Structures are given as C-alpha cells and as structure tokens.
Amino acid sequence: MKKIFISQPMRGKTSEEIRAERKKAVEVVKAFVHDEVKVLDSYFDDFDGNPLECLAKSIALLAKADVAYFAKGWKDARGCRIEHIYAEEYAIDRIEE
C-alpha cells in the first residue's frame, strides 16, 4: 500500500470542490502506482490556525508520503509550490496534473 499526499490549491473553493478534486487525485495515483493507496489527509476543514501553521502540518504529512500528487493550479499556489520543493528535494515521487 502506497501512502499519498495531495497538494492542491484551496483558496476560493468549497469543501465539496476540494473533496471532489481529492477523490479524482486518488484515482489517478492508484492507476499510476498499480496498488492500493492510503491518503495522508492534508485537508484540515476544521483548522483554525494561520496559513503557515497549516503548511507546517502539511509538510509533516508530506514527509511520510511515498507519492505526492499536485493538482491543477499548484504552480499558482504558494503553499503547493513550497510542498513541491520539499517533495523534489527529498526525492518523493511526484505526479503533476
């Protein structure tokens, strides 16, 4: 079983839109790795901290991932770009939509 991390822009999106993107990401990663996956859930819908605290929590999850999926628009989202740098620097397999 592969552990996956999903990086996606969330600003201006509803919870439903975010969850739908995440569901799609899981299917893409399953097809890529030919294995079952466990999502390291970096969507904190009840998080009440500042954006940097949220990013710190996400990076802690990214450290446990076998594969990181970067959803459409990741290059335009500061947090996603930072997560991508860490994934690249620490040789975590990446899938970019």
Give the three-state DSSP class for 84: helix
Please give the distance of CA 85 from its chain centroid, rounded to a whole number.
Answer: 13
Scanning the structure block, which residue is given the tokens 């929590």?
57
Query: What pLDDT is stored for residue 44 in this prediction?
Result: 83
Does the domain at 2-96 match CATH 3.40.710.10? Answer given as: no
* Rounded Cα gap, residues 45 and 61, in angstroms: 16
Q: Where are the domains of the chain?
A: 2-96
Average pLDDT per block of 10 residues along the chain, 97 residues long: 96 92 93 92 79 92 97 96 98 96
Q: List alpha helices for the chain, DSSP H.
A: 15-33, 51-62, 78-89
Can you give the pTM of this predicted structure?
A: 0.91
